[in-house]
Structure 1
Amino acid sequence: MVSAATVAPAAPQSLSLPPPQFARLQPHAYLLAHLSPPVASNQPSARANGRAPSQFRVTSANSGSLTHTNGSGMVRLGDTTAVCGVRAELLHTEDIPSWSVSQSSNANKRRRLADSIKLSGQSGDHEETEAEVEEDRAHIEDLNLLVPNLSLSTGCAPGFLPGAPPAALTQALSHKILSLLHSTRLVRAEDLRVWYQPPNLGPEELERHNDEEHMDVDADEAESKPAEIKAFWVLYIDIMIISLAGNPFDAAWMSVLTALRDTKLPKAWWDVDNETILCSDSIAESRKLSLRGLPIPSSFGVFEADAAAGWRAVVIPDGEKLKAEEKKGTVQKWILADPDGYEEGLSQERACIIVDKEQNGKTVIVSMEKHGGWTVDTEDLRQLVDISARRWDEMKQIMDQC
Structure 2
Amino acid sequence: MASTATAPAPQPIPPSLSLPPSQFARLQPHAYLLAHLSPPASSQQPSIRANGRSPSQFRVTSANTGSLTHTNGSAVVRLGDTTAVCGVKAEILHTEDIASWSVSHSSSSSFASNKRRKLTNPTAKLGEDRTDSGDNESHIEDFSLLVPNLSLSTGCAPGLIPGAPPSALAQSMSHQILSLLHTSRLVRAEDLQIWYERPNFGPEEPEHHNESEQMDVDVEQEGSDEASIQTGEIKAFWVLYIDIMIISLAGNPFDAAWTAVLAALRDTKLPRAWWDVDNETVVCSDIVSEARKLSLWGLPIASSFGVFEADAAAGWRSVTIQDAEEERKLAEGDRKGIQRRWVLADPDGYEEGLSQERVCLVVDKPQGGDGKVFIVKMEKNGGFAVDRKELKELVDISTRRWEDINQILKQC
Same fold (TM over 0.5): yes
Displacement of 1:254: 0.4
Residue of structure 1 aligned with 2:329, choices 316, 325, 329: 325
1:379 aligned partner: 389
- Structure 1 counterpart of 2:373, which letter? T
Displacement of 1:244: 0.3
Residue 346 (structure 2) pairs with residue 341 (structure 1): no
Distance 1:129 1:396 in 2: 24
Residue 234 (structure 2) pairs with residue 234 (structure 1): no
1:209 aligned partner: none
SS where residue 252 of structure 1 aligns? helix
Unaligned runs of 5+ in 1: 206-218
2:148 aligned partner: 148
1:159 aligned partner: 159
1:99 aligned partner: 101
CA offset digits 1:220-254 (Å, max 9, x no partner): 79965610001000000000000000000000000
CA offset digits 1:276-311 (Å, max 9, x no partner): 100001111011111001000110011111111111
Distance 1:267 1:111 in 2: 20
Displacement of 1:320: 3.1
Alignment of 1:29-108 (within 5 A): 29-104=31-106, 105-108=108-111
Q: Percent identity?
A: 66
Distance 1:294 1:373 in 2: 29
SS where residue 343 of structure 1 aligns? helix
2:214 aligned partner: none
- Structure 1 counterpart of 2:331, which letter? K
Distance 1:367 1:223, change over 3 A: closer
1:175 aligned partner: 175
Distance 1:54 1:39 in 2: 21
1:211 aligned partner: none
Residue of structure 1 aligned with 2:268, choices 240, 263, 268: 263
Q: Does the 8 Å contact 1:200/1:222 carry over to 2? A: no
- Structure 2 counterpart of 1:349, which letter? E
Unaligned runs of 5+ in 2: 206-222
SS where residue 128 of structure 2 aligns? coil
Residue 377 (structure 2) pairs with residue 367 (structure 1): yes
TM-score (norm 2): 0.88
Displacement of 1:124: 2.9
Distance 1:32 1:4, change over 3 A: farther
Distance 1:111 1:271, change over 3 A: farther
Displacement of 1:33: 0.9
1:297 aligned partner: 302
SS where residue 229 of structure 1 aligns? strand
Distance 2:252 2:156 in 1: 13
1:213 aligned partner: none
- Structure 1 counterpart of 2:320, which letter? I
Displacement of 1:327: 2.9
Distance 2:270 2:261 in 1: 16
Displacement of 1:322: 3.2
Distance 2:136 2:102 in 1: 16
Distance 2:391 2:225 in 1: 61
- Structure 1 counterpart of 2:303, which letter? S
Distance 2:8 2:55 in 1: 55
Q: Does the 8 Å contact 1:201/1:223 carry over to 2? A: no
Distance 1:228 1:180 in 2: 29
